[in-house]
């Protein structure tokens, strides 16, 4: 299952219960490299900073759906031939937002992390041995919850999102070792992990001036409802062809959850230009292995830039770039799109590319690209 462990490290410490996500998520935020800490009145506020709902200036109910219509992943391991190219359809966020007497409420369902890697490889080893392997890694996360935001005067707003997040990690590994065309050994290994946790996202936002807004939010996993992992392995060797060696281990993989802090700024510039700047800190987390040892995922930082230009013609270009820095790798996210607005209804289409570069010579590269869409309809 080596591929699974490499993949988790290459994706900058990401896991299915991570509190921050490297792939695009949200409404406008997804097309602006996930810059959302200081974004006002966006359906994506439920994930990035619910205080933005407090500055919503309409009494209309709105429904929003966004996601990646098509995406593909590529994964490179040194000295191995990798053939993932898995095409997926993945909704990212569905949110209903409605006004109340005291502020703005929302219900949402999000799938901000979903990918699958399938890798096949063949290697020549010393002593005339040949190793053939097939590996598969899949991660998925679903968040269901509600949000509320309210303003205190015209300059300050607060908000909180809360809900349940369920994450699954699955990896399988099958390999055969041959010599002279005869099997020397075969082995199959599988690991299934599921974690369900309470997620809380408090946030505040302030309009310092008419052209400058500042936002701060946190993502916390205060406790886990469920945390289980099962590892199964089966091995057969030519020296004992009638004896199958099997092991099954079930354990709790959660040792210490991480937290994320997001600080952002939004600037309204001349010519209808709007710029978002976000800095995100993810604390370290710890996971437990089947043998009881503890692995520590290092803390990491993300720096994101987002830009859009408002237009009286009803369409806006959007662009974003984010850079992530962690101990095992660096990551880059590039996003772009066009927003078309008619009355209070908005649709956005665009594309993204996300890639990671390992800092070790023996590390592995990962990249994902796809087409994105988002729509928001007000009633």
Q: What angle do CA 127, 133, 135 make, to 5 degrees?
A: 150
The answer to whether 219 and 198 have CB atoms below 8 angstroms apart is no
**274-311: pLDDT as tens digits:** 999 999 999 988 889 888 999 888 788 999 999 999 87
Biggest alpha carbon–alpha carbon distance for the chain: 79
Count of CB atoms within 10 A of residue 171's CB? 23
Q: Please give the average per-residue pLDDT across 204-223, as a whole number.
A: 96
Nearest to 377 by CA among 149, 132, 64, 88: 64
Alpha-carbon dihedral sign for residues 61, 96, 223, 92: negative
Whether the model pTM is above 0.85: yes
pLDDT above 80 for 162 = yes
Q: What is the pLDDT of residue 8?
A: 41
- As a whole-number percent, the residues of the chain with pLDDT over 70 amount to 89
Q: Which fold has domain 2-378?
A: Porin (2.40.160)
Q: What is the pLDDT of residue 19?
A: 53
Residue 378, CA atoms < 13 Å, CB-side half-sphere: 15
Q: What is the pLDDT of residue 22?
A: 77
Q: What is the pLDDT of residue 58?
A: 83
Q: What is the pLDDT of residue 327?
A: 78
Question: In angstroms, rounded to a whole number, what is the distance separating the alpha carbons of residues 95 and 200?
Answer: 17
Q: Which of 11-15, 126-130, 329-333, 341-345 has the lowest mean pLDDT?
A: 11-15
36-40, 80-84, 255-259 — which one is most confidently predicted on average? 36-40
The answer to whether 342 and 375 have CB atoms below 8 angstroms apart is no
Confidence of residue 334 (pLDDT cuts 50, 70, 90): very high
Count of CB atoms within 10 A of residue 87's CB? 10
β-sheet bridge partners, residue 336: 319, 351
For residue 374, what are the CA distances in angstroms to 67, 68, 302?
6, 9, 24
pLDDT above 80 for 269 = yes
Nearest to 335 by CA among 78, 44, 17, 10: 44
β-sheet bridge partners, residue 228: 194
Q: What is the pLDDT of residue 247?
A: 94
pLDDT higher for 246 or 362?
Answer: 246
Confidence of residue 258 (pLDDT cuts 50, 70, 90): confident
**12-24: pLDDT as tens digits:** 444 555 556 778 8
Q: What residues contact 153, with CB distance under 8 A and at least 6 apart?
A: none
Q: Which segments of the chain are extended strands (E)?
A: 62-76, 88-99, 104-124, 129-152, 156-179, 182-209, 212-219, 224-237, 245-251, 254-256, 260-268, 273-282, 285-288, 294-297, 300-309, 315-325, 329-342, 345-358, 365-378
pLDDT above 60 for 79 = no
The three-class DSSP label of residue 40 is: coil
Residue 338, CA atoms < 13 Å, CB-side half-sphere: 4
β-sheet bridge partners, residue 320: 306, 335
Q: Please give the average per-residue pLDDT across 204-210, as a whole number.
A: 97
Q: What is the pLDDT of residue 298?
A: 79
pLDDT above 90 for 332 = yes
Q: What is the pLDDT of residue 363?
A: 67
Q: Please give the average per-residue pLDDT across 256-275, as a whole number.
A: 93
């Amino acid at each position: 299952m080596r591929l699974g462990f490499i993949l988790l490290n290459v994706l900058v410490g990401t896991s299915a219960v991570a509190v921050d996500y490297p792939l695009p998520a949200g409404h406008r935020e997804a097309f602006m490299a996930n810059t959302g800490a200081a974004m006002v009145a966006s359906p994506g506020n439920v994930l990035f900073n619910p205080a933005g709902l407090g500055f919503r200036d309409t009494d209309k109910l709105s429904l929003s759906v966004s996601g990646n219509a098509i995406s593909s992943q590529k994964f490179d391991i040194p000295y191995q031939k990798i053939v993932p190219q898995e095409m997926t359809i993945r909704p990212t966020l569905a949110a209903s937002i409605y006004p109340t007497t005291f502020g703005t409420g929302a219900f949402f369902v999000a799938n901000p992390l979903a990918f699958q890697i399938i890798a096949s490889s063949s290697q020549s080893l010393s002593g005339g041995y040949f190793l053939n392997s097939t590996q598969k890694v899949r991660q998925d996360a679903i968040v269901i919850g509600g949000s509320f935001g309210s303003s205190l005067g015209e300059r300050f707003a607060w908000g909180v999102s809360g809900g349940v997040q369920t994450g699954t990690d699955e990896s399988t590994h099958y390999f055969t070792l041959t010599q002279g065309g005869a099997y020397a050994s075969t082995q199959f290994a599988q690991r299934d992990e599921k974690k369900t946790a309470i997620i809380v996202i408090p946030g505040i936002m302030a309009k310092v001036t008419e052209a400058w807004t500042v936002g701060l939010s946190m993502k916390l996993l205060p406790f886990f409802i469920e945390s289980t992992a099962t590892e199964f392995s089966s091995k057969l060797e030519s020296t004992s062809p009638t004896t199958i060696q099997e092991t099954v281990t079930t354990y709790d993989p959660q040792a210490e959850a991480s937290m994320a802090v997001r600080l952002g700024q939004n600037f309204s510039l001349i010519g209808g230009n709007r710029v978002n700047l976000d800095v995100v800190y993810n604390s370290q987390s710890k996971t437990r292995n089947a043998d009881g040892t503890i692995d520590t995922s290092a803390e990491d930082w993300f720096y994101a830039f987002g830009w859009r230009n408002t237009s009286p013609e009803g369409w806006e270009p959007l662009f974003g770039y984010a850079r992530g820095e962690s101990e095992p790798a660096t990551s880059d996210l590039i996003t772009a799109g066009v927003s078309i607005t008619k009355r209070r209804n908005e649709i956005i289409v665009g594309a993204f590319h996300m890639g990671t570069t390992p800092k070790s010579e023996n590390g592995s590269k990962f990249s994902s690209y796809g087409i994105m869409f988002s729509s928001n309809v007000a009633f």
